[in-house]
Amino acid sequence: MNIKDVVTMVVYIAITFILSSVGSQILKKFFNFVTTRQFDLKKFTQDGGFPSSHSAFSVSMGIIAIFFSIWAIKNNFSYEFCALTLIVTFVAINHICIVIRDALGVRRSVGKLADALQKLNKTNKETLTLIEQDNNVTQRIQENFEEIAKLTKIKSGHLPHEVIGGIFWGILASTTTSVCYYGYSKLFILCLIGIVVYIVVMSIFLRYGSKIISLLNNFTK
């Protein structure tokens, strides 16, 4: 590989990561607007939401590694080089598993803890309204709880459908850039169709999912 090939590959990887991570953040705002009819750019970098940008980003790494391994094997690179690409692929897949487990487990627990602290702060305020306002100790307790509430106004972790949505978006985004880079022009159209279908189906699911599930439950009874 010459310098031009290396630069082209770096650009391809950068575009893939931008499309998977930044693209998922844009989709979060779009899907949020579809479901709530509200648009807020201030929360563009906020954690949580559908689809999971962490899952999308990690999956895109795995797709890039898989495509590169296939390309190396098809072009008869040395055994050592192909073995190295396969090792990188397995590491990337392991990273995907760790990120998904983290999104569903540790980060989700942090989010629940933040919610609990906010509820505790609300309860504290309601309780302290029954106590004299000139009580200095009470005032300090109130200020401490307000500070806790400010620090815990976060949404961390994901629900299962948010992670699944992130996985599918990561696959679509990275596959689209990969088929362009490796010249699989016939698959490019399918990828674009897949992206359109993904956005349309997910919009319908997020907007009317609960109603659809309720209708199906009533129908099966």
DSSP 157: S
Report pTM. Answer: 0.70
**123 or 9, higher pLDDT:** 9
Residue 210 contacts by C-beta under 8 Å, 6 or more apart in sequence?
none
Mean pLDDT across 58-74: 88
What DSSP letter does each residue of 63-97 carry, written as one string? HHHHHHHHHHHHTT--HHHHHHHHHHHHHHHHHHH
Q: How confident is the model at residue 169 (pLDDT cuts 50, 70, 90)?
A: very high
pLDDT tens, position by position, 105-152: 665 566 566 666 666 666 665 555 555 455 555 555 555 555 555 555
Integer Cα distance of 171 and 152 in angstroms? 32
**Residue 102 clears pLDDT 80, i.e. is over it:** no
CA 192 to chain centre: 20
- What percent of the chain clears pLDDT 70, i.e. is strictly above it? 66
What DSSP letter does each residue of 96-155 carry, written as one string? HHHHHHHHHTHHHHHHHHHHHHHHHHHHHHHHHTTS-TT-HHHHHHHHHHHHHHHHT---
